[in-house]
Structure 1
Amino acid sequence: MSSPRPRMTDEERRTRLAVRHHLAPAARAATVEQVAMSLTALHGTDPATVHLAAGARLTDQAGPVAAMERALYEDRTLVRMHGMRHTLFVVPTALAPVVQSSTTHDVAARERATLIKQVTAGSTLDEAWLADVEKSTLEALARRGEATATELAQDEPRLREQFVYAPGTSYEQRQTVSSRLLRLLGTEARVVRGRPLGSWTSSQFRWAIAPPLPDLPPAEARATLTRAWLASHGPATEADLKWWTGWKVTDVRKALQAVHAVPVDLDDGTTGHVLPDDTSPTEPPAPWAAFLPALDPTPMGWQARDWYLTPAHRTALFDRSGNIGPTVWRNGRIIGGWAQRPGGEPVWRLLTDTDPGREAHTAIETEAARLHAWLNGTRVTPRFRTPLERELSA
Structure 2
Amino acid sequence: MGTVRCLLLAKKDPEKWKVFSELESLEKLRRGSMQWKADLESIGKFIPRFFKTTDFSEDLIMKTVGILQINGHEVPVTDPPHVAIFKNASFLEHSCHPNLAKSFTKDGHLILWAPKAIKRNTHLSICYSDAVWGTQERQQHLMHTKIFKCECERCLDVTEFGTNYDGFKCTTPDCIGVILPSSLKEWNSKWRCSTCGNHVDILFIKDILEKAGKDLNPMTRTADNCIKYIQNYQKWLTNRHFYICQAKIQLVQLIGTDPKELMTVPEDKLNLKLEYCKELLDLYEKLAPCEIRMLGTFCFELHSAIAEHTRRVALKTSLSPKNMLEESLLYVDKCINYLQHECDIFVEGHILKQAKINRDALRMVLVM
Q: Which structure carries more relative contact order (alpha carbon 8 Å, separation 6+)?
A: 1
Structure number with greater Rg is 2
TM-score under structure 2 normalisation? Answer: 0.25
- Structure number with higher strand proportion: 1
- Structure number with higher helix proportion: 2
